[in-house]
Amino acid sequence: MSVVRTALLAASQNVWLRERAANYKFVRQSVARFMPGERLEDALGAAAALRRKKIAAVLTHLGENVADRAEAQQVAEHYVEVLKRIQAQGLETEISVKLTQLGLDLSEELCFEHVRTIIGHERAERTVWIDMEASNYVDATLGIYRRALRIFPNVGICLQAYLYRTEKDVEDLLGMRPAVRLVKGAYREGAEVAFPKKADVDANYFELAKKLLAAQAEGRCVRAAFATHDVALIGRIGEFAAQRGITKSAVEVQMLYGIQRAEQERLAREGYRSGVLVAYGSYWYPWFVRRLAERPANLWFMLRNVFAG
């Protein structure tokens, strides 16, 4: 892991920095590159604009590690309202939720009830995505996902390619016909649980992507979505799909709002399923710094804003 990435991941967990970052204009200007605004209305507007370019949107309300039952309840109610707003506006938009924002630290049962309520308000043809968080939450997250999947076929899970365990997790889930969004991983993890070298993460990602595409073609995976901004990796996945006779419309790539916009539009133009994760909310600091850690070049973008005034 690079020194810059390690430092950024450590900074993402720093409460002192989180409390002060919003006071700096250059930080807020940089955050604006990755999210259209803090309000739900901003996210819905971005989703409508993306739709006009034939790009799907997945909305996520930023927040994590909620330690109050009333707050977790409010988050669940907010997502129900989000789904109602999406449906009222006729948007082809989905949502992605974090379980620690829905009370996982308080009670797995409480969290599951919130998840069940949210999915119950979604249309059957749309997926409710469950985010994956740090490695100590993987077992609990998968447990809740499996429970939800037994009731609702339209729930998906995020899996992280940098964890050694993910290959086995994929194999275990395929018997349940899951929907899987594959990411590289954005949390600070030790070498005992995660590949420390980027090249190894990339190699594992590609192997998992091939497995998921093949499983999707065989009907053992309802939906495979590849969340990455790595253009070279996207190209390799596309080549593999073509070699296997998998149509472009069956290959889904998801990116973050504001990153690789030209690539997002190219994929949509060429017939791939192109999607964008649109984040909003005031609790943006840890999420934003993890985005910088995923692609340190984004840090230089932020620093240029500083010197440009």
CA-based radius of gyration for the chain: 18
Using the predicted structure, report yes or no on whether residue 19 has a pLDDT greater than 60.
no
Q: Is 139 a catalytic residue?
A: no
Catalytic residue among 5, 126, 131, 290: 131
- Considering the entire predicted model, what is its pTM? 0.86
Contact between 226 and 180 under an 8 Å Cβ cutoff? The reply is no
Q: Is 181 a catalytic residue?
A: yes
- Position 23 scores a pLDDT of 57
What is the rounded distance in angstroms from the CA atom of residue 257 to the CA atom of residue 96?
Answer: 14
Using the predicted structure, report yes or no on whether residue 308 has a pLDDT greater than 50.
no
Contact between 207 and 170 under an 8 Å Cβ cutoff? The reply is no
Q: What is the band of 10 on the pLDDT scale with cuts at 50, 70, 90?
A: low
Tokens 């495979």 locate to 224
Q: What is the pLDDT of residues 26-63, one digit of tens each?
A: 555 666 677 888 899 999 999 999 999 999 999 999 98
Q: In this structure, how many other beta carbons lie within 10 angstroms of the beta carbon of residue 151?
A: 11
Secondary structure (3-state) at 126: coil
Q: Per mean pLDDT, which range of 135-139, 159-163, 265-269, 292-296 is the poorest?
A: 292-296
**Which comes out higher in pLDDT, residue 29 or 215?**
215
Q: What is the pLDDT of residues 62-121, one digit of tens each?
A: 988 999 999 999 999 999 999 999 999 999 999 999 999 999 999 999 999 999 999 999
- Position 302 scores a pLDDT of 47
Provide the token pair at 122.
Answer: 């979604």
How many angstroms separate the Cα of 175 from the Cα of each of 18, 212, 222?
41, 12, 11
Catalytic residue among 5, 126, 181, 291: 181
Residues 142, 145, 149, CA angle at the centre, nearest 5°?
140
Of the chain, the percentage scoring pLDDT greater than 70 comes to 81
- Position 107 scores a pLDDT of 97
State the average pLDDT for the chain.
Answer: 89
Q: What is the band of 290 on the pLDDT scale with cuts at 50, 70, 90?
A: low
* Average of per-residue pLDDT across 210-227: 98
- Position 72 scores a pLDDT of 97
